[in-house]
Amino acid sequence: MAVETAFAKINLALHVRRREDDGYHGIETLFAFAEDGDRLTLRDTPGLEVTGPFAAALTEGDNLVTRAAEAYATLTGAPLAGFRLDKRLPVAAGIGGGSADAAAALRLLCARDGVDPNEARIRALAADLGADVPACLLSRPLRGEKRGDSLIPLEGVRAGMPLLLVNPMRPLATGAVFAHWDGVDRGPLDQGDPIEAARKGRNDLEAPAIAILPIIGDMLSALADQQGVILARMSGSGATCFALFSDDAERDRAADAIAAGRPDWWLMRTRLR
């Protein structure tokens, strides 16, 4: 039985440069991915079964996994497949949950049929599903530009770097956060070493997200106050925040301290892949 991980996505930095005429925003971002995430199992029978701790948060009907399966079948003429989704990541959380799930579905289908997921037609299908799906299809460090789907491979992000994800167990809609962006272009994202560029950079969606959900500011402060933090930031449009650490022990001490103080928050101890 074929199984894929839908790797959690983080944005090491996210600069919003402009709003385009089509309603999308031009951005510059640094994508990285955790070793962990949702788990997707390929099935012969069409349809989607959802299990796991966050299964109840998914609405009935339209889902990016089923949309990916249907689009792939239409594109390739292959049989329509089904999936079992073990939903381990919070929904509407800024860590690419739905996009990562769709990307994992495409990887499973390509592997089943001997199709290279780097083919132009598969990349175009991924882009049609959502701006983050092409990056999630690759699930490796990338610089994203335009809508975030113009991708450049990144060197210098160390695989295995300890990572802590924190979420307040409250969803946050991407559209609402972008709608609160003040429209100010605060400048480009640096080139060069991606971790240093991220530390010098920012997430332009943090301020509008905090305006909607102030607890995000509490999470960022809690992470930044921990020992050994290399970078603490909100991911995507929130509400998940993350911190990178130099070693597992520092990450685990931080996780223990935050969990003790805020047992109502969701935590994931993982590493960069």
Catalytic positions, written as ranges: 9, 132
Alpha-carbon distance of 268 to 273, in angstroms, equals 14
Residues 6+ apart with CB under 8 A from 259: 265, 267
Compute the half-sphere exposure of residue 264: CA atoms within 13 Å on the CB side of its CA. 5
Is 27 in contact with 145 (CB distance < 8 Å)? yes
Interatomic CA distance for residues 135 and 163, integer angstroms: 19
What is the CA 104 to chain-centroid distance, rounded? 12
- Please say whether the dihedral angle defined by the alpha carbons of residues 101, 195, 236 and 213, taken in this order, is positive or negative: positive
Enumerate the H helices of the chain as residue ranges. Answer: 64-76, 97-113, 120-129, 133-138, 174-180, 194-200, 206-212, 215-224, 248-261
Give the SS3 label for residue 124: helix
- Decide: 44 and 62 in contact? Cβ < 8 Å: no
User: Residue 229, exposed/middle/buried by CB under 10 A (0-12, 13-18, 19+)?
Assistant: middle
* Amino acid letter, 11: N
Under the phi-then-psi rule, with left for phi > 0, alpha for psi from -120 to 50, and beta for the rest, what region is 253?
alpha
